[in-house]
Structures are given as C-alpha cells and as structure tokens.
Chains A and B, each alone.
Chain A
Amino acid sequence: MGDFNWNWQLDGWIILTAVICALACSLVGNFLVLRRMSMLGDAITHAVLPGLAVAFVVTESRSSFPMFVGAAVVGLCTAFFTEWIRKSGRVDEGASLGVVFTTLFALGLVLIVHWIDRVDLDANCVLYGSIELTPLEQVNILGIRMPRAFLILSAVLGLNTIVITLFYKELKLASFDSVLASSVGFSPATIHYVLMTLVAITAVASFESVGSVLVVAMMIVPPATAFLLTRRLFQMLVVSALIAAFSGILGHLSAIAVPSWFGFRSTSTAGMMAVAAGSLFTLAAVFAPHDGIAIRLWHQILLGLNILADDIVALLYRVEEKQGRKEAESRWIREVLLCNRLAFIAVKRWLLFRGELRSNANQISLTERGHHRAQNLVRSHRLWEQYLLDEVGLDPSRIHPQAEKMEHYTDRDLREKLHQAIDNPDIDPHGSPIPVELSKRPKK
C-alpha cells in the first residue's frame, strides 16, 4: 500500500461536505425518480449555468444569494420551456428537454468563457467541481471556522428538509396521482415548480463540490438504489439518505486510497462518489430482497429442481400404472427425462430426504408420500389435457406438451375448478384414467 495522506483538518471537512452535498441532492432526487423526471433533473442542473454566469457578471461577486436567484430563475425557465415546447411543438418530453437544456448549457459555457477575465469562475470547475479545494475557503460562524461550501450546502439541505417535510403529503399525492391532486385542489403545477426550484438551488449549491455533471448522479443514483430496496416512500427517503452519505464517505476514502495502491496520486473525490453510488446501485440490483437478480436466479433454480422432482415421481407413477412395476432403475429414469446428472443426483437426494422416494441398490421407488404427490400431479396433467381439448379447443397433438407445463403450477383448488369445468370425467383424452384427488398427505 502506498502513502495514505490523511489530514483531519482537510479530509474531515471534505468528507463532511461530500456527505451533506449527497444528502441535499438525494433528498430532492427521490421525487425526481418517482415522478419519472430524472432527465429533467439532469437538464436543470446543466441549464442553470447561464443564470450563474449572469449573476456573477451583474453583481461582480461570488456571493451566494444572487447566484441562487439566477439559478432558480433559469431552473424554473427550463421546466417551463420544456413543458411549453412539449405542448406546442408536439414533440415528446425527451426531445424538448434536449432542445432546452443543451441550448441553455451552451449559452452558459459561452458566457463563462467570454467573461473569463472578469469572473473568478473556471469552466472545468463548473463541470467537475473541486471538492478538494473547498476547505481552503473558510468562514467564521458562531466562533467555528468552517468551509464556505459546507455552510451553504448545510443551509440548502435544511431548506430541502423543511420544504419536503411541509409538502410531504402534497408531494406524495401529486407524484402518485396528479389527476386526483388537481381534482381536490392541490395544484400539481405548483408542486412541480416548487420541486424544480429546490432542484435548481441544490444544483447551484453543489456545483462547487461535485460539478454540474456529477450532481445529477447524486440526485438520481441513491434514490434509484433505495427504490429497489424499499416499498414505502418514507423508507425510501431514509435509505436513499444513508446510501448518499455512504457514497460521500466511500467516495473520498477511495479517491485517496485506491490510486495509491497502484502508485498513482489521489484522484477526484466527486468522481469516486459517483462511482461509489453506481457500485451500490449495482449491488442493490443484484441483491435486492424482493426482485433482485440473485433472488430471481435462485427462485428459477429452485423452480427447475422442483419441476424435475415432479417429473421423477410422475414417471415412477406412470411406470407402475402401465407396467405394474413399482421400482425403476435410477439411470433409466435420468435418461428418459434427459436431465443433467448433477441435478438428478441432487433432486434424488432431496426426495429421499423428504421421504418421497426410497432407494434399493440402484433401483428407486415411490413411498406412500411420494405416491401421493405423484397421483395429484398426474391428475392435474390429465385434467388439463381434457380441459385443453374440450374447452380451449386445442389440437390433440398440442395438449400433452401444454399440460406437461401447467401440471407443475396446479394446486388443489385449481384441480377442483378444472374438474367441475369439464363435467367430472374419469378418463383423459388418451384413455388413461384420471386418478382421484388425494387430500390428506401421509406422514413421513
């Protein structure tokens, strides 16, 4: 490991600033994600640039208040123009956003480059931010010296928290069902523009730290991650805040540590924050508890094995029914079912363990429990065949493969309904008897 330069005075403030910035962004970002307006967030964060530039030039200072006003005005204009172009130009929202924000962003860049001598503002700094430099510019508040950026971001986080707490129920309603919101008199337009003002203000406050390109990562990625992990709005807000804060910490630590492992100097904290947030999102997408990729894969594997188990017991049942033999050779079963050897061994073990199968040398046979499962399964199969032929009118050659799939998803209730729907038949279309329903499952 290379040299890990850590300085509490410097790095402590950087991490605190990063965390506060990420919190402020993700708080408003939740509603952008839920309202499916992530791109509008992106647009506003870019489009506020001319507002900033004009505010600089008019006031000839970097004081915050004119900047916020300029940005808020241009931010609202973005939201407004986008809506207007979408309506009157009859193009979709994405296209009208593309028109508005690229134009405004370009205008802002041109202004900054043009006035570069007069304003203390660097285009690179606006794009990527320079969180590493924020501790250098300190202000004195209540006898505590703190970075200016930290102070401003804390104020914006406070503002966002207050507004979202006040408008919590209105935001929830307008985001979920805007028609109901307007029918009861909570104007969705008002709520929309309040939210967009917050987005614009948050974007300006975050520029110095993470820049206009990455601010949208902080607005969108933590809430999108939280959306995968939670099922309640309040939980989503809390989890997104945790993820945002964690991204901030992880971002700075890895910006210092990771490059030094490979012998490079430390890299951009803002960049690593976005990378950290992106990695957390990937983890969440894979391991989300309800419908993550891993859990879905696991369910698919379990389902596949369960179907194989069904096929094994059903085959043994049919062998007994047609040939009167209670036992069959393991290998023969595997060959008939065309199944993978490993899967077969696993499922056989499982069935033996569950007491549905017994084995004798290389012969296997059904126990009473296994027989019960098999009989209901074969009953499902044959009821389906009859139903598909009579009620659905499927071609006789197609009914077997269809029934073969459906049998695995058919429970007792469904069998009962099928039985009634096809007038309680005794034999299936192929002339095999439809076995009776076995209700009580025998003990192991």
Chain B
Amino acid sequence: MQPLENQIPTTSKSPLSVQDLTVAYHRKPVLWDVGFEIPQGSLVGIVGPNGAGKSTLLKAIMGIVPLASGRVQIFGKNYRKARQQVGYVPQKESVDWDFPVTVLDVVTMGLYKKIGWFRPVAGKHRTQALQALESVGIADLANRQISELSGGQQQRTFLARALVQDAELYLMDEPFAAVDAATENAIISMLRKMKSNGRTTIVIHHDLQTVPTYFDHVILLNMRVVADGPVEKVFNEDNLNKTYGGRLTLLDEVSEAMRRRERSL
C-alpha cells in the first residue's frame, strides 16, 4: 500500500461533518435532518435497511444529488474545495462491466483528477496504478478486460482505484457485497492499514454480525440518524430495533401528504 505510507498531519477539523441534511426526490424526502460528525482516523460503518437512504447519503456528501437543506463540510471546507481529499468506491453494479477497458485503465481513472483536464495519461501514472493493483493482489490481471473479472476481483479493482486517489476521506458503497471470503479479508486488512495511517473511511455495510469486529464507529440510518457513535456504545439491540423495526410510517405519511398537496395546487 505504497501511496498511503506517509502519515497525514492531523487537523483540528473533522474529516466529515453533516448538519441538518435533507434530501428529497420529487419532493418525497429520502433523508430527514441528518446530522453527525466523524472523528479523524476512524473506520465508520453505515447500516440500515433497504431504502434507508444510505447510498443517497454518500451521494449527497459528494454533492451529486441536490440537498433540500443542510450543510456538508469536509475538513472544514465545502465539497468542491475538498474534492482532492475524498476517494469514492461505488457499488459494483453501478458500472457497466462490459465496457471496453482493462483493469489497469479502471485503476488509472483514480488519477484523472490529478492529471487534470485534457492531459493524457502518462507512463508514471500506469506504474502507480500497477503498484496499487499489486497491493490488492491482482497485479497479474492488469491487462485483462474488466468483463473477465469475478465479483471479488471487480471489488479489488475498485479498491485499487481508491488507493491511487490517495485521499484522506474514503466513501465506500458496499465494498463487501457479494465478494469471496479471501477478498473480504483483504479489504478489511486494507481498511485497517488505512486507519493506522490516519485515513478516515466510511463504509456502507450490510452484514450486522461483522459490524463490531470491523468498525469502531457506526451510524444507524433509516431516513434519519437513529444513533451514531462508537460501536460499543450505540450498536445495541434497542437501536437496531429502532433502525430496522419497520418503516417510519408517520414520516412516510407526511411526505405522501406533502406530495399530494403539491399536486393539487
């Protein structure tokens, strides 16, 4: 994991602070008044049922979906200024794996921002990408077309791409979904190494059983933040029941009412 070896200086500002964040699709709220602050160097799990707005939260943090209200700060700056410090790992399903590119091409994409508009990819960038592939253990697949990869190898490709971004805050959308046990272990040891280098990582996670062993901080999300904090404090049955115990029917009702009223006007 070459790019992450050097320690980053600790700043007084939190890597990620979210205040009063509300996101709506067609006026139907997906996230209500979400607020939390992430301590530097923590490994954070976001858990919650399907439709809880987990992916939307990551996209809202990156400014990809519009905010109805609220504020996101990354190291005390807004996202546009802090872009260089953020690395993103999308869900595997979000891209077309038949696209005519090689594994190395995909990893090199993590460097495009550094390379800048209009400038071509150079040899040194490929070398850097190859090193990242080595650190996730699939350097031998560098010249394969991406359609030939297994699920675990696809995920490793995305992680290598995140590594070359050399970010200080990582946002990962279900990196553990549908991977083999070996890949799962490789990912978690990589995340721990990143943590020991002072990086902050936020991971959307589905497997509740592994939350206490994988993460030190957890956000329980179901349209709003049910609880957030150190795993040993907030990851308990009571909070889990609140998170997974059915939909928030009253919130649903009011958003439905808002929609109806909107239409009748």
Q: Which of A34, A36, A169, A235 contacts B112 (CB 8 A)?
A: A169
Check if A227 is an interface residue, CB within 8 A of chain B.
yes
Decide: A175 and B99 in contact? CB cutoff 8 A: yes
Q: Given known contacts A90-B26, A166-B118, A168-B120, is B101 in contact with A184 (CB within 8 Å)?
A: no
Decide: A235 and B59 in contact? CB cutoff 8 A: no
Which of A170, A179, A236 is the most central at the interface, judged by chain B CB atoms within 10 Å of its CB? A179
How many chain-B residues does the 8 Å CB contact rule pick out? 31
How far in angstroms is the closest Cβ of chain B from A382? 28
A229-265 to B contact mask, C-beta < 8 Å, 1/0 = 0111101100000000000000000000000000000
Q: Given known contacts A90-B26, A231-B145, is B112 in contact with A186 (CB within 8 Å)?
A: yes
Decide: A183 and B117 in contact? CB cutoff 8 A: no
Chain B residues in 8 Å Cβ range of A308: none
Chain A residues in 8 Å Cβ range of B118: 166-167, 170
Decide: A183 and B101 in contact? CB cutoff 8 A: no
How far in angstroms is the closest Cβ of chain A from B150? 15
User: Which residue in chain A gives the minimum CB-CB distance to B88?
Assistant: A183
User: Which residue in chain A gives the minimum CB-CB distance to B55?
Assistant: A179
Tell me the bound Cα distance from A173 to B113 in angstroms. Answer: 11
Tell me the bound Cα distance from A416 to B118 in angstroms. Answer: 53
A23-60 to B contact mask, C-beta < 8 Å, 1/0 = 00000000000101000000000000000000000000
A6-28 to B contact mask, C-beta < 8 Å, 1/0 = 00000000000000000000000
Check if A143 is an interface residue, CB within 8 A of chain B.
no
How far in angstroms is the closest Cβ of chain B from A260? 40
Decide: B112 and A173 in contact? CB cutoff 8 A: yes
User: Which residue in chain B gives the minimum CB-CB distance to A175?
Assistant: B99
Chain A residues in 8 Å Cβ range of B13: none
User: Which residue in chain A gives the minimum CB-CB distance to B147?
Assistant: A231
Decide: B101 and A232 in contact? CB cutoff 8 A: yes
Chain B residues in 8 Å Cβ range of A167: 118
- The residues in B between 74 and 124 inclusive whose CB is less than 8 angstroms from any CB of A are 80, 83, 86, 88, 90, 94-96, 99-102, 105-106, 109, 112-113, 115, 117-121
Check if B62 is an interface residue, CB within 8 A of chain A.
yes
Q: Given known contacts A168-B120, A170-B117, is B99 in contact with A34 (CB within 8 Å)?
A: yes
Q: Which of A166, A169, A233 contacts B100 (CB 8 A)?
A: A233
Decide: A184 and B115 in contact? CB cutoff 8 A: no
Chain B residues in 8 Å Cβ range of A36: 96
Decide: A185 and B102 in contact? CB cutoff 8 A: no
Tell me the bound Cα distance from A64 to B102 in angstroms. Answer: 41
Check if A180 is an interface residue, CB within 8 A of chain B.
yes
Check if A172 is an interface residue, CB within 8 A of chain B.
yes
- The residues in A between 172 and 202 inclusive whose CB is less than 8 angstroms from any CB of B are 172-173, 175-177, 179-180, 182-186
Chain B residues in 8 Å Cβ range of A184: 83, 88, 112-113, 165
Check if B64 is an interface residue, CB within 8 A of chain A.
yes
Tell me the bound Cα distance from A407 to B124 in angstroms. Answer: 48
Chain A residues in 8 Å Cβ range of B120: 168-169
Decide: B109 and A173 in contact? CB cutoff 8 A: yes
Decide: B94 and A177 in contact? CB cutoff 8 A: yes
Decide: B59 and A179 in contact? CB cutoff 8 A: yes
Q: Which of B59, B62, B101, B165 contacts A176 (CB 8 A)?
A: B101
Q: Given known contacts A166-B118, A182-B64, A230-B100, is B26 in contact with A177 (CB within 8 Å)?
A: no
User: Which residue in chain A gives the minimum CB-CB distance to B119?
Assistant: A169
- The residues in B between 146 and 182 inclusive whose CB is less than 8 angstroms from any CB of A are 147, 165
User: Which residue in chain A gives the minimum CB-CB distance to B106?
Assistant: A176
Tell me the bound Cα distance from A167 to B118 in angstroms. Answer: 6
Chain A residues in 8 Å Cβ range of B63: 182
Tell me the bound Cα distance from A306 to B219 in angstroms. Answer: 55
User: Which residue in chain A gives the minimum CB-CB distance to B95?
Assistant: A177
Tell me the bound Cα distance from A160 to B114 in angstroms. Answer: 25
Chain A residues in 8 Å Cβ range of B95: 176-177
Decide: A179 and B100 in contact? CB cutoff 8 A: no
Decide: B94 and A179 in contact? CB cutoff 8 A: yes
Chain A residues in 8 Å Cβ range of B100: 34, 227, 230-233, 235-236
Q: Given known contacts A169-B120, A170-B117, A184-B113, is B145 in contact with A232 (CB within 8 Å)?
A: yes
Chain A residues in 8 Å Cβ range of B99: 34, 175-176, 233
Tell me the bound Cα distance from A34 to B88 in angstroms. Answer: 23
User: Which residue in chain A gives the minimum CB-CB distance to B90?
Assistant: A179
Chain B residues in 8 Å Cβ range of A168: 120
Tell me the bound Cα distance from A183 to B62 in angstroms. Answer: 6
Chain B residues in 8 Å Cβ range of A235: 100
Which of A36, A175, A185, A235 is the most central at the interface, judged by chain B CB atoms within 10 Å of its CB? A185
Decide: A185 and B80 in contact? CB cutoff 8 A: yes
How far in angstroms is the closest Cβ of chain A from B265? 15
How far in angstroms is the closest Cβ of chain B from A133? 38
A77-104 to B contact mask, C-beta < 8 Å, 1/0 = 0000000000000100000000000000
Chain A residues in 8 Å Cβ range of B62: 182-183
Chain B residues in 8 Å Cβ range of A170: 112, 117-118
User: Which residue in chain B gives the minimum CB-CB distance to A234?
Assistant: B100
Chain A residues in 8 Å Cβ range of B165: 184
Decide: A177 and B101 in contact? CB cutoff 8 A: no
Tell me the bound Cα distance from A230 to B99 in angstroms. Answer: 10
Tell me the bound Cα distance from A377 to B165 in angstroms. Answer: 49
Q: Which of B64, B96, B119 contacts A183 (CB 8 A)?
A: B64
How far in angstroms is the closest Cβ of chain B from A193? 15
Tell me the bound Cα distance from A173 to B110 in angstroms. Answer: 10
User: Which residue in chain A gives the minimum CB-CB distance to B121?
Assistant: A169
Q: Which of B26, B86, B101, B117 contacts A172 (CB 8 A)?
A: B101
- In the assembled complex, 9 residue pairs joining A and B whose CB atoms fall closer than 8 Å, in A order, are A169-B119, A172-B101, A176-B101, A177-B95, A179-B88, A184-B83, A185-B80, A231-B100, A233-B99
A-B pairs, top 5 by smallest CB distance, nearest first, are A231-B145, A184-B113, A183-B62, A183-B88, A177-B95
